[in-house]
């Protein structure tokens, strides 16, 4: 036990946020998180604290309506996060117009189909709108061996093979573990229409960054048996894509099977909610965003500009693996910040000042959030 504590303490020290060389946590960005009618707890206190103290503006869009999202999603917004909510039936042209400004990061995060509360088909139209080939599966990922005490509490164990994965890999000490609390998987559409297995494919412009263990199983938990329940329909076992990135023009789309930037179940954190053991959640999120902002997007924008000046006909879409050659040691702030630094800018919604975070976190422990109850009853 003592050895374990020492190891964990060392790991935390290694990632205590003192940049050495190379990249630091991204700064100067405006990140809009739209929870809308999201199904799980909306708190992003850890992310908010880390990114505002690093000099970003984080708009915590709890309770925002789609109309207010439309108003807020101006050219000043560099990144839009859409965690597991329902945008079905909405005119999404405004998201496409924002995306087409270029140099943006769109993060579409799903959830499992537990109880039918989250339906991927209600969020996938966003991916379609911006021209992504990636889709959230309408099922769930269970892992009988790599989990935090129950098979739906999935611990991912594998990073991918591209440059984004490599950037994250440089930050990983020990065995890679990332927590996804009841996630779904990511598949892709072949020829814009046929649900297809992303596990063995090597697609231009797409990199699978985080994968499940070889033992994870795809299931159709709510028995919806739709075309979007792709991986369960092929009885997929193992290496299920849980987080993938795609470049589209000078933009990047991130698709993940859970909202890993949220406080929920400490996914954006470094301890597993049940065993208390270490996992790399916030390190992955922070390294991913910093690498994308500091290396990938500038490269895409540069290529885009060069292409425009040399040819009117050449497509500017570029592959992640072939265009990002810079290897940079990434050092980012990884633990949940406890800084009392004032948020950079007054935000228009219910963003939580860092100074009251401890109180909020205490209160959060007593709030009977629907998903917690659901999952508690589910886990028996
Ligand atoms: Ca389903």
Q: Which two tokens stand for residue 15?
A: 């990632």
113 CA → ligand 1 middle, Å: 5
210 CA → ligand 1 middle, Å: 22
Q: Name the band, by pLDDT with cuts 50, 70 and 90, for residue 22.
A: very low
160 CA → ligand 1 middle, Å: 26
Q: At what angle do helices 281-291 and 45-53 cross, to 10 degrees?
A: 40
Task: For the full predicted model, state whether its pTM sits above 0.85.
Answer: no
Q: What pLDDT is attached to residue 311?
A: 54
Q: What pLDDT is attached to residue 90?
A: 93
Residues 136-178: pLDDT tens digits? 999 999 999 999 999 999 999 999 999 999 999 999 989 999 9
Q: What pLDDT is attached to residue 298?
A: 96
197 CA → ligand 1 middle, Å: 16
Q: Which of 67-76, 110-119, 182-191 has the lowest mean pLDDT?
A: 110-119
Question: 361 and 41 in contact (C-beta within 8 Å)?
Answer: no
Q: Which of 7, 12, 43 is nearest to 270 (CA)?
A: 12
288 CA → ligand 1 middle, Å: 29
3-state secondary structure (DSSP) of residue 293 = helix
Domains of the chain: 24-379 (3.40.50)
3-state secondary structure (DSSP) of residue 253 = strand
Q: What is the chain's mean pLDDT, rounded?
A: 80
Q: What pLDDT is attached to residue 35?
A: 86
pLDDT beyond 60 at 277: yes
Q: Which two tokens stand for residue 135?
A: 């889709």
DSSP state of 360: H
Question: 211 and 240 in contact (C-beta within 8 Å)?
Answer: yes
Exposed e or buried b per residue across 187-215, where buried means at least 16 C-beta atoms within 10 angstroms of its C-beta:
bbbeeeeebbbbbeeebebbbbbbbbbeb
Q: Which two tokens stand for residue 219?
A: 């299931």
Q: What pLDDT is attached to residue 308?
A: 66
Q: What pLDDT is attached to residue 67?
A: 93
Question: 182 and 111 in contact (C-beta within 8 Å)?
Answer: yes
Average pLDDT of span 24-44? 86
Average pLDDT of span 8-28? 53
47 CA → ligand 1 middle, Å: 30
All residues at 6 or more sequence positions from 322 whose CB lies less than 8 Å from its CB, including other chains: none
122 CA → ligand 1 middle, Å: 12
Q: At what angle do helices 45-53 and 357-364 cross, to 10 degrees?
A: 160
Cα distance between residue 188 and residue 136, in whole Å: 8
Q: What pLDDT is attached to residue 310?
A: 60
């Amino acid at each position: 036990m003592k050895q374990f504590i020492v190891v964990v303490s060392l790991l935390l020290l290694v990632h205590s946020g003192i940049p050495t060389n190379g990249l630091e946590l991204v700064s100067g960005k405006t990140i809009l998180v739209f929870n809308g009618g999201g199904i799980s707890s909306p708190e992003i206190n850890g992310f908010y604290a880390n990114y505002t103290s690093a000099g970003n503006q984080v708009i915590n869009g709890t309770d925002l309506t789609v109309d207010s999202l439309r108003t807020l999603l101006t050219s000043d917004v560099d990144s839009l996060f859409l965690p597991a909510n329902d945008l079905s039936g909405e005119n999404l042209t405004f998201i496409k117009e924002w995306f087409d400004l270029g140099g943006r990061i769109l993060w579409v995060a799903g959830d499992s189909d537990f109880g039918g509360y989250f339906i991927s088909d209600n969020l996938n139209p966003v991916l379609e709108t911006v021209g992504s080939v990636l889709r959230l599966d309408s099922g769930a990922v269970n892992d009988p061996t790599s989990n935090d005490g129950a098979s739906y509490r999935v611990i991912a164990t594998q990073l991918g093979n591209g440059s984004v994965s490599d950037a994250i890999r440089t930050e990983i000490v020990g065995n890679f573990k990332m927590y996804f609390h009841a996630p779904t998987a990511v598949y892709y559409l072949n020829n814009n229409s046929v649900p297809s297995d992303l596990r063995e494919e090597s697609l231009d412009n797409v990199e699978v960054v985080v994968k499940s263990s070889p033992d994870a199983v795809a299931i159709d938990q709510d028995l919806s048996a739709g075309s979007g329940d792709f991986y369960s329909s092929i009885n997929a076992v193992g290496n299920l894509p849980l987080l993938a990135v795609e470049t589209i023009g000078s933009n990047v789309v991130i698709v993940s099977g859970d909202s890993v930037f949220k406080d929920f179940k400490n996914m954006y954190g470094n301890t597993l909610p049940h065993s208390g053991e270490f996992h790399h959640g916030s390190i992955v999120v922070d390294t991913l965003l910093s690498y994308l902002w500091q290396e990938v997007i500038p490269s895409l924008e540069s290529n885009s500009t060069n292409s425009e000046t040399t040819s009117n006909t050449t497509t500017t879409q570029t592959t992640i693996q072939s265009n990002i050659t810079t290897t940079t040691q990434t050092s980012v702030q990884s633990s949940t910040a406890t800084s009392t630094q004032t948020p950079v800018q007054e935000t228009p919604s219910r963003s939580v000042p860092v100074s009251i975070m401890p109180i909020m976190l205490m209160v959060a422990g007593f709030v009977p959030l629907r998903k917690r109850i659901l999952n508690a009853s589910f886990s028996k």
